[in-house]
Amino acid sequence: MKLDSKPEPIEVDFARSAIVVVDMQNAFVNKGGTLDLAGVDLSDAARVVRVIRAVLDAARAAGVAIVYLQVGYKPDLSNAGGPRSPNYYKETAMHLMCTRSELKGKLLTEGSWDFAVVDELAPRPADIVVTKTRYSGFAGTTLDSQLRVRGIQYLFFTGIATNVCVESTLRDSYFLDYWPILLADATMAAGDRSVYEASLFNVESFFGWTLKSEQLQSSLLEYSGGVARVDG
């Protein structure tokens, strides 16, 4: 099926595609979470949740695979990299925990509220869920092998933040010869509009394609008319 993407149309095979939901956790969506504590404007987060929910509904109806990426650390932070790793100082939650002792071990800790995927987008049993400890979903995880064993080649990216974990994972997917398509209205940047637009420029110019979520939903609806529905 050919999609009206930017900077040019791209032909995809939905049977070999997946929707990638990047870090749609309380930490990055809700007040009191990591991004809120870091001073990031979350006013657009609720809209992004609604858009992603509609995309997931359409994808599930069409039997398209769904992958959740979820960043999180063990309570003792043993998988955060330690003081010799730049991740220990630069990743948002780690930076907050290093500079505010009262937060240590509380942000993005596995099993915590901050770590959990928001209720509106909770994964279903058939979905792939990959926990990561770095910005990219491919860094030190089983994501690549899980996609390849399923024959997946085309990845539609959604999530928060456009310019950090979404773009990092998208770039790595390009290097690994996946076909990355960013759903432009299904993401939110950590920063102002210019930061978001810079990510779109990078994707369209160098790493992949961008597409509006409504266009994808319309194509999935057309596609689902010819395949059996798969419920998760």
Structure tokens at 137: 């979903």
Q: Which tens digits make up the pLDDT trace of 12-54?
A: 999 999 999 999 999 999 999 999 999 999 999 999 999 999 9
Asked if 116 contacts 25 with a C-beta cutoff of 8 angstroms, the reply is: yes
pTM: 0.95
Does the structure show a pLDDT above 90 at 104? Answer: no
Residues 6+ apart with CB under 8 A from 24: 48, 49, 52, 68, 117, 118, 121, 158, 159, 160
Predicted local distance difference test score (pLDDT) of residue 227: 58
Task: List the one residue out of 1, 7, 2 whose CA is nearest residue 210.
Answer: 7
Does the structure show a pLDDT above 80 at 107? Answer: yes
Structure tokens at 127: 């979905």
* DSSP state, residue 35: H
Q: Which tens digits make up the pLDDT trace of 188-218?
A: 999 999 999 999 999 999 999 999 999 999 9
Predicted local distance difference test score (pLDDT) of residue 89: 92
Asked if 228 contacts 19 with a C-beta cutoff of 8 angstroms, the reply is: no
| Parallel/antiparallel/unpaired status of strands 65-71 and 128-132 | parallel
**Integer angstrom CA distances of residue 202 from 10, 38, 85, 100, 216:** 17, 25, 26, 34, 21
The pLDDT of 151-179, averaged and rounded, is 98
Q: What is the dihedral of CA 212, 217, 218, 224, to 10 degrees?
A: 150
Sign of CA dihedral 166, 108, 68, 147: positive
Does the structure show a pLDDT above 70 at 173? Answer: yes
Predicted local distance difference test score (pLDDT) of residue 101: 86
- Please state whether the peptide bond connecting residue 83 to the residue before it is cis, i.e. omega within 30 degrees of 0: no
Residues with active-site annotation? 23, 132, 165
The band of 226, judged by pLDDT with boundaries at 50, 70 and 90, is low
Predicted local distance difference test score (pLDDT) of residue 106: 87
CB atoms within 10 A of CB 75: 11
Domains and CATH numbers, the chain: 8-222 (3.40.50.850)
Asked if 154 contacts 64 with a C-beta cutoff of 8 angstroms, the reply is: no
Mean pLDDT of the chain: 95
Q: Which tens digits make up the pLDDT trace of 112-162?
A: 999 999 999 999 999 999 999 999 999 999 999 999 999 999 999 999 999
CB atoms within 10 A of CB 90: 12
CB atoms within 10 A of CB 81: 19
* Beta strands per DSSP E along the chain: 2-3, 10-11, 17-22, 65-71, 128-132, 154-160, 179-188, 209-211
Does the structure show a pLDDT above 90 at 72? Answer: yes
Does the structure show a pLDDT above 60 at 232? Answer: no
One-letter amino acid for residue 54 of the chain: A
